[in-house]
Structures are given as structure tokens and as C-alpha cells.
Structure 1
């Protein structure tokens, strides 16, 4: 099996989606459960709320509009908190002051692929937002993420001042919708199998194993 190319897992997610953070942890556990498989993970954009302005929206206002108030939001998030604890994620929703438009975060993830740093950048974005309460709508926050993960932060700072790849992000987000993706995370394995939602690690591992065993029957597109 060593002559096989890596099994590709395309992850469609949004960095303001807590279940995507949980899904990342479960995917990582699934990959550890199949150590004999070579797996390449690629991250793709999605926006839970594309209507958010570029500068983001005050978190309390956002929760009022989405849930009808912070108390209802906290009740809705309790299941997320518990799932996070199970995966070692100390969600700190109370620290979040701004609900961000995530297009610039997705641009950063795109650019990080050239340095093979997508996983590190996605992880840091999740940590900054959900654990530290950082404002992902601010360019300086994203530049700091770039610096923390080993990217060329000066170049990132310059690119964020332009419209570079904004159209590409919007096209990819639209393509996800055209593919039928209505919720995230979405894991597309070998271009053939899709798992919608933060399924348990053993479910993802079984799908990885099945995809590998059936690749000879239907090889994925490069």
C-alpha cells in the first residue's frame, strides 16, 4: 500500500463555527486511529453568516439577533461546551466581543497552504477566537496568527490590505453551496464520500478505512 498517494480529506468549515473546532479534534483522533494510512488534509472556506460586515458585529447584538439574548445563547452553547470538554477544548464564549466576518480568515488559510501550514493556522484561528476571545475581524489579529504559525507575517499584512483572493473565497463558498453543503464541518474523503457534521472519531476513522480500501475501484481525481 506504500505506493498509494495520500488519501485526501477536504474539510469545508468556518472558523467561527464551534462544531468545526470539535470536528477538527475528532478528525485528528480518527487519523491517529489509522496510522498505516497516509492522509492529506486540505481546508476550504464556508461562512455561517456571510451577512456580517467586514468589521464584524458586537457579540451581544449578534446573540440577540440569532438566539434572542445571551441567556438563550448560553443554553444553546451548553451542549457545545460539553462536547468541547470531551475533546479538550475549553470554550470561552464569554470572552468573545465581536462576531467576525471570516472572509479574511479564510484568505489567511488559503495563503498558508503554500507553506504547508494550513493545519497550524486553522488551529490557531480556532484557539484565538474560541479560547482567547480574539477579534478575527481585525487585520492585526490575523497578522499575529500568521507570525505565530511561521508564515511571512509582513507579506500577510500587505496582502490583507488588498482584495487579493477575495473573489476566489466567495466562489469557493458558493461552490460549497452548489455541492449541497448546508452545514459544517463537512469532510469529503477521497472526493467520493462526505461526512456532514462533527461525527465521532471512530465514524470518521471507519470512513477513512473504507475510502482507502475502495480506492482501486474508483480512483479519486487528483
Structure 2
């Protein structure tokens, strides 16, 4: 069982799946992935409310089943804090990763990572909900304030890296930041975050992870993706051999 904990594969408008989506699903399945969290960004996409995403995932699953593509699709939502979201509004439209309502995916503001997040973090932690901060390796202000990441992880947050970034798709700097987060114990999950077949690299990223750090960490991060969708506790301390420390600035 190999889980992709974030992939932008399902359409939210309930229309029939197009050829590109089905081809991507087949690529994912052929790569060995068995389960996918089909994510959309809210409120960036106003249609990406919890109810809409559930319907979209169900419709897409029916299309896959009819075509014999043995890929399990789950509805997913990334809370994009590019703008302010009130707790009351979010409570109406949020879709948790798991049925236990334990985890929520969050993308921080790219200019001011703390902006809009701290008030929501207070509410989430008060309700025993654990935010998973996605793609933080691309957030340059946050990477210049790594102590803030430590604080959020100490408070109970988790983080998820992008497979393509670990392989250098966004350049050497972002790749180095991926490895820094891993070696500092500040990365817990790995997802594709892909939008098309030609950038789907989850299997390759896990292979690179295993090649650099050994089989154990690759297995544990894969296990975390399974735990995430099941609402189970995540592994937050990895036995990782540090090869060298990177300094960016």
C-alpha cells in the first residue's frame, strides 16, 4: 500500500473526468501508488468546500472503477492562507484528512507565514486537531526563520514536502531546504502535489530518500501517509543519518 497524501487530480465541478485526469490516474496506479488524497485549495477555489470535494472524489472513483483502474481516491482539501479565513467560516467548509477529524492540510502565507495562521492554530490545537503544513520548503521567509518551524512542530504541527522538490524540480536551493528539514527532524510526510502525469514523481522521490538516508526513513514516511488518512498517530522522530548540514543564508 503506497499512499500519495496530496495530489491535485480530481475536478471539483462534478463534471465527467477528462482524458488527462484518467491518464494521470493510470500513471499513478502504474507507478505503484494504491491510494490518493485528491486535494484542492480552499478558499482559492471557492468550489473546494468539504461537501463539493466529497462529491467530486466519489464521481472520480466511479470513473476509475468503470475503467478498471485500481486506484482508491479520497477527498482532500488544502487550506490556503493566502488570505484571511475566520474560524467560523472555516468550520462550515473544512474537510479534514481523516474521518476522525484529527488532521488538516494547511499552506501558509508566502509573504508572512505567521499571518492568518496563529489564530487558527490556537483553535485547532484547542480542539486536538493537528495541522500538516505543506510545501514549506518553498516558503522562503519561513526558511529564513527556521526556529518558527521548530516551535510549530513542538506545538504539534507536522510538515509535508513535495516529491518534485526533493528531486530538484524547483532548483538546488529548494532541494537543499528539503534535506535540511529532513535532517533537522522537521519533515514528516511526502506527497506529489502533482497536477499532471508528466510531473508525477512520488515513487522516484521515495527511491531518492531511501538511497540517501536508508530504507527505514523511507518506510516510516510512507507509513505516516497511511496513518494520516486513517487518523492514526504519526511517527515524528526518525532514525536518520545526517550526511552534512546545509546553510542557506
| TM-score for the superposition, normalised by structure 1 | 0.33
Greater percentage in helix: 1
Structure of higher RCO (CA pairs closer than 8 Å, 6+ residues apart): 1
| TM-score for the superposition, normalised by structure 2 | 0.31
